[in-house]
Structure 1
């Protein structure tokens, strides 16, 4: 049986392409995805189309070598937290960054219905400044 923890791990532990495919496969149709205030893509996105266009495509095109590497997971019923480090180089400035993150997922019937991001956005913003 696949657990909620297994579902979330599968969105971090492969290649970027594999992680993206796994994520899209487990998003509920009306999933909400909240990027933290201060993060360049701050706001709440609803559904896969908004999440891909507003966050994932931008990360893939605006950053070189962008990655989110989780190192710790905590599961509590229908909630799973992933803790890790973002890294990448902002293409427009050529500046690299690493920033810690926490993602809190809420799942229902094997699907992600909500994700909230917590991040040291100051480090990300520094990389984006000329």
Structure 2
């Protein structure tokens, strides 16, 4: 599978809560690195740490949280995705902020994710 198609499939599966598909696209020892200041941010290693620890904790801050990919750039064994986060925090404040995600792919599996975004806008929605 082409790397860009793999990442598009990942976003689609995650949005549609197709856990079997999105987990199957990730390496067991995936590294998930978040921008400093992201709610529950840091570095998570392994599928369980990412999908059972990070995401439930981070998403618990929001009534809605969407990552909307807009542009995919193929960079050989990496794919960069530019898009927008939008959502509503539990305080009722909405936000919209640009992101860049960089995925490292090896043997048709995502082995690393790196996030770049303005976390201040997201943090302000939590207050």
TM-score normalised by length of structure 1: 0.89
Please give the alpha-carbon distance, in whole angstroms, between the structure 2 residues aligned to 1:114 and 1:101: 16
Spell out structure 1 runs of 4+ moving beyond 3 A: 13-16
Please give the alpha-carbon distance, in whole angstroms, between the structure 1 residues aligned to 2:20 and 2:63: 20
Deviation at 1:94, TM superposition (A): 1.2
Please give the alpha-carbon distance, in whole angstroms, between the structure 2 residues aligned to 1:5 and 1:31: 18
Deviation at 1:24, TM superposition (A): 1.2
Alpha-carbon RMSD across the aligned residues, in angstroms, is 1.5
2:104 counterpart SS class:
strand
Please give the alpha-carbon distance, in whole angstroms, between the structure 2 residues aligned to 1:69 and 1:21: 21
Q: What do residues 20-61 of structure 1 show as CA deviations (whole Å, max 9, x unaligned)?
A: 543211110111000111111221101111001332213443
Q: Is the 8 A contact 2:40 2:58 kept in 1?
A: no
Unaligned runs of 5+ in 2: none
Please give the alpha-carbon distance, in whole angstroms, between the structure 2 residues aligned to 1:112 and 1:95: 33
TM-score normalised by length of structure 2: 0.91
Q: Is the 8 A contact 2:100 2:116 kept in 1?
A: yes
Unaligned runs of 5+ in 1: none
Q: Could you tell me which residue of structure 2 aligns to residue 26 of structure 1?
A: 25
